[in-house]
Each structure stands twice: as C-alpha cells, then as structure tokens.
C-alpha cells in the first residue's frame, strides 16, 4: 500500500472502508502517527455509541440550558481534539439527520455548538471509517448521496484477507514474528500443515481474527505450531465452524463461536476480552446478549477445570 503515504499529510477528510476486522482503526492511527500533526491529539469516536439526539452535542458541544439536562456548557470532540485528528468510526450507521450535520461541517468547515449562534472553525483533520457498503446504503435511502460523493473523494478501501493471498501471507509472517517476540519464542516455527490451513481458511474476521489466532498459537504451542494448537473455531481447511446455506447466518455462527472461545481464553473477563480481541465493551455485551452466551456458565467451567473438577 505504497500510495498510503500520500494520505499522511492530506488536510481533507479521508474515508476508510472495509469489512469488520480489516484494520480500519489500525490504518487511521498509522496515518495519524506518520503525519506532520502526530504530536497533536488523536480522538477515536465510535459513532454507534452516540444516540441520535446527542450526536450534535457530543461532536459540536453545547451551551448551558440549550436542552433539558444541559446544566453546564460543554465542549465537544471537535474542540477537544483541537488541531489534531478526529477519527469518526462507523459513519455508515448514523442517521440522515446526523449525516446532514456532518455534510455541513465538511462543506463549510465550521460548526455550531448546540444552542449557539456563532460558528466555530473546524481545525481538526477528519478520518472516517465504515464497514458498510455506502453505495448500497445510498440506493436504500439510508445514506445521503451528496455526503457519499463528498467522502468518496479520498477513499481508501481495505480488502478482506480472502481476496489477497499476498496480503494474507504477509500478515501471517508479520504477526507470527510479532508474537514470537512477545512470548519470547524465537525458535518457534509453523508446521507446513498449519500454514496450509491458514492459507485456505476464509478468515471472516479478517486481520483481527488472524492476529488473535496467531497469538493463541504462539502461546499454546511447544517447539512447533501444530494443527492441535489451533483454536477450535479454525481447525481443518476452511475452518471447523458450523455453517449454514445463508452467508449472514454462517457469519453469525462463526462470530458466536469466536466470542465464546475468546471469553474462555480471557477467563470470562469482559474487559480483558474486549482488549484482547479489539472491540468496545458495549459491542461485546451486545453480542453476548444477541447470541445468548451464558458468561457465568463459562466462568464456572473455567473454575472447575482449574480445580480439576
């Protein structure tokens, strides 16, 4: 991705698109850290965590008394980040009303705190990301066409691992070396059969899944990473997870097994699991509820195994 260097000091909004786990947050930080404003603030905002009625207040700030509960004036993310970089994650999920506010910000370069009549100048550099197909969202009437074309001007699309053997091979070697160093395993090697599994697996969780899998292997293996050292969700060519005739249902089956496996790995600790697999606490809790995962049962089994019960 040699052309990424051209984006380092671009002062226009940058849109990063790609499936979940393709490394959008990682790339946003990479661009920031190599920019000429790397000594300024970097603020990562998960837009899905902002309720629609609070979107403007959280982003632009508000004046005291501007709405019920606004007992004090407050600066928003745009002011707090100053001349740094504001990373707006999952812009494909915000409402049409929020999209209108975002378009005005980008087009005019100014914003109004809620309840204020004097505009403030946009000083931050914006990087935005989404896992959604924005063109499809436009066709469905869920995303503004004018905002779509404005954001697509400087778009970086991250390919899923299954679409590039070269990227997959590079990531396998990179992460394997990273975790050999982390766990002080300089002589650890990957068995050829394991390498074949890695290359044939579709990686629905993309880079995030690959990274977690390799860390698990480096931790579990002895002198060589064998098939038996692989986590349960990936064993065998193409993965050992249950599948369905529905693509969406198959991904859900994988996601559930992946989360259960991660919870076991991190001893049932929600915070540790969030940190380990790279998702927010609210997202993990929502998925635990969605899939009916009994976290107390997992903790009980871990405790029983620990005591040999």
Strand (E) or helix (H) holding 57: helix 55-60
Dist CA 67 CA 116 (whole Å): 12
> What residues make up the domain containing 233?
161-306
The distance in angstroms from the start CA to the end CA of the chain is 52
Quote the distance between the C-alpha of residue 212 and its chain's center.
14
Q: Do residues 49 and 282 make contact, with C-beta atoms less than 8 angstroms apart? A: yes
Instruction: Judge if 151 and 182 occupy the same domain.
Output: no
**What pLDDT does residue 241 have?**
46
With 0.75 as the threshold, say if the pTM is over it.
no
The lowest-confidence range among 66-80, 200-214, 246-260 is 246-260
The residue behind tokens 């969780």 is 205
pLDDT of 51 higher than 80: no
pLDDT at residue number 246:
63
pLDDT confidence band for 238 (50 / 70 / 90): very low
CB 21 within 8 A of CB 208: yes
181 and 144: one domain? no
Sheet holding 14-17, edge to edge: 42-46, 85-89, 125-130, 14-17, 155-157
Domain boundary residue, one of 133, 157, 181:
157
122 and 179 fall within a common domain:
no
pLDDT in tens, 173-217: 999 999 999 999 999 999 988 888 888 787 888 898 899 999 999
- The first and second tokens of residue 27, run together, are 């790339």
Q: Of 40, 146, 44, 38, nearest to 90 (Cα)?
A: 44
Our count of domains for the chain comes to: 2
Q: At 307, is the secondary structure helix, strand, or coil?
A: coil
Higher pLDDT, 148 or 68: 148
Whether residues 233 and 300 share a domain: the answer is yes
The confidence score (pLDDT) of residue 48 equals: 83
């Amino acid at each position: 991705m040699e052309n990424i260097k051209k984006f380092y000091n671009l002062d226009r909004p940058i849109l990063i698109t790609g499936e979940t786990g393709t490394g959008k947050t990682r790339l946003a930080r990479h661009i920031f850290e190599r920019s000429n404003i790397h000594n300024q603030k970097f603020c990562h905002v998960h837009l899905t965590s902002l309720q629609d009625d609070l979107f403007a207040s959280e982003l632009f700030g508000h004046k005291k008394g501007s709405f019920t509960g606004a007992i004090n004036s407050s600066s928003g993310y745009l002011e707090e980040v100053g001349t740094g970089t504001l990373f707006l994650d999952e812009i494909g999920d915000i409402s049409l009303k929020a999209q209108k506010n975002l378009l005005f910000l980008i087009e005019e370069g100014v914003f109004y705190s809620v309840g204020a009549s004097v505009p403030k100048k946009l000083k931050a550099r914006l990087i935005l990301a989404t896992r959604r197909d924005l063109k499809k969202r436009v066709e469905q009437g869920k995303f503004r066409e004018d905002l779509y074309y404005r954001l697509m001007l400087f778009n970086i699309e991250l390919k899923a691992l299954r679409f590039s053997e070269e990227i997959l091979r590079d990531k396998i070697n990179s992460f394997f070396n990273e975790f050999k160093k982390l766990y002080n395993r300089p002589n650890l090697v990957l068995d050829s059969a394991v390498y074949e599994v890695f290359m044939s697996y579709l990686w629905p969780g993309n880079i995030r899944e690959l990274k977690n899998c390799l860390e698990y292997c480096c931790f579990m293996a002895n002198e060589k990473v064998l098939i038996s050292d692989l986590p349960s969700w990936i064993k065998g060519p193409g993965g050992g997870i249950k599948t369905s005739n529905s693509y969406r249902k198959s991904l859900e089956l994988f996601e559930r097994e992946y989360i259960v496996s991660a919870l076991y790995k991190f001893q049932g600790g929600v915070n540790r699991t969030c940190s380990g697999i790279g998702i927010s606490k609210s997202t993990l809790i929502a998925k635990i509820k969605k899939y009916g995962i009994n976290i107390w049962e997992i903790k009980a089994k871990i405790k029983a195994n620990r005591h040999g019960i």
